[in-house]
Amino acid sequence: MSDPKPLIENALLKKLAAGQTALCLTIRISRTLHAVAIARAAGFDALYVDMEHSSTSFEDASQMCLAACLAGVVPLVRIPSHEAYDINRALDGGAAGIIIPHVDTADEARACVAACKFPPIGKRSVAGSAAVIGYASVPAAEMSRVLNANIMVIPMLETPTAIRNAEEIAAVDGIDMLLIGTNDLMSEMGIPGKLDDPKVRGAYATVAAACKKHRRYLGIGGIKGGKILEDLRAMGAQFLLARADEAMLLDAAREETKTLRGIFS
C-alpha cells in the first residue's frame, strides 16, 4: 500500500478543522465492544476510554480502540498519568489521541507531546507496525510522518494554575486542543457544582482566547446542558464530552422504573 493516509486520516481533526462540532462519548464502566457499536449507532464522532476514573485495563482500552477504528469512531484514551510509558501503551494499543489530565504548565505539555510524537518532533518509541493504521505494511519514515500528523494531543486544564498558563500551554508545538475539566476546576476554585459562577465563564474565556491566538481547538468537559453551552459555543468551543456510559445507563434505568411503577402502582 503506497499511501497510508486513508487509513489514519483523523476524522475528528478533519471535522474540527471544518469548524464543526464534535461529540465524544465517555466510556467508563463498559468493557466490551458493544459500547463502540452503541457509540456509532448513536452518532458520536469519537469516544474516549477513561482510564483515570475507572479500573479499565490497557488490554480493555486497546480492544475498544481497535473496534472504534474499524467502526469509524475516533478512539481517544484519557490516561491515568503523565508517564510516557502510559502514553506509549495507549497509543500502541490503537488510540488516535491522548487526553492528559491535570496539565498545569507548558513544560508538562511539552513532555506529553514528546511522549506522543516520534522524532524529530518528540521521543515516542517505535513499536513496529501500528494498530491505529490496521497494521498496514508502511515504511517506517512514512508511518512516523503520518502518525505524527494525525495523533491528537489533548491536555486537560483543571486548576486555576492551568487557566493562568493557558496561553503558554496553547503555544506548545504539537498541542491540538485544550480541554477544560470543569468539575475539577470548580472544585479547585472552591465553587463545586456552581456552573453559573462568573469564574467558570471567565476561565473559559481565558482559554478560548489562548486557543484562538494559537489556533488550537477548545474542548468542554463536565458540562452537559444549559445556556452555558450556547455561550461556550459562541466562544469557539467545538468539542464536547457527553455524559459517561454509567450516567446514561443510570438515567435510563431510573426513567424505566419510574414509568413501570407508574403503570403498576
Q: What is the pLDDT of residues 167-209, one digit of tens each?
A: 999 999 999 999 999 999 999 999 999 999 999 999 999 999 9
Mind listing the pLDDT tens digit for each residue in 233-257?
A: 999 999 999 999 999 999 999 999 9
Residue 34: count of CB within 10 angstroms of its CB? 11
As for how many domains the chain has, the answer is 1
Q: Cβ distance 109 to 166 under 8 Å? A: no
Q: Which comes out higher in pLDDT, residue 127 or 260?
A: 260
Domain of 167 in residue numbering reads as: 5-264
Q: Which grid coordinates are listed for 114?
A: 514528546
In SS3 terms, the chain reads as CCCCHHHHCCHHHHHHHCCCCEEEEEECCCCCCHHHHHHHHHCCCEEEEECCCCCCCHHHHHHHHHHHHHHCCEEEEECCCCCHHHHHHHHHCCCCEEEECCCCCHHHHHHHHHHHCCCCCCCCCCCCCCHHHCCCCCCHHHHHHHHHHHCEEEEEECCHHHHHCHHHHHCCCCCCEEEEEHHHHHHHHCCCCCCCCHHHHHHHHHHHHHHHHHCCEEEEECCCCCHHHHHHHHHCEEEEEEEEHHHHHHHHHHHHHHHHHHHHC
- Is a pLDDT exceeding 60 seen at residue 4? no
Pairwise CA distance, residues 231 & 169, whole Å: 23
CATH number assigned to the domain comprising residue 177: 3.20.20.60
Condensed to tens digits (0 to 9), the pLDDT of residues 85-101 reads: 999 999 999 999 999 99
- Band (pLDDT 50/70/90 cuts) for residue 265 is confident
Weakest mean pLDDT among 6-10, 40-44, 157-161: 6-10
The closest of 244, 205, 202, 198 to 221, measured between CA atoms, is: 244
Distance CA 184, CA 235 (A): 21
Catalytic residue numbers read 53
CA torsion sign for 130, 132, 136, 142 is: negative
Q: What is the pTM of this model?
A: 0.93
What residues have CB less than 8 Å from 9, skipping those under 6 apart?
150
Evaluate the CA torsion angle 207, 208, 214, 215 in order and state its sign: positive
Cβ distance 118 to 148 under 8 Å? yes
Amino acid at 74: V
Give the sign of the dihedral formed by CA 38, CA 43, CA 47, CA 50: negative
- pLDDT for 108-144, tens place per residue? 999 999 999 999 999 999 887 778 887 878 888 888 8
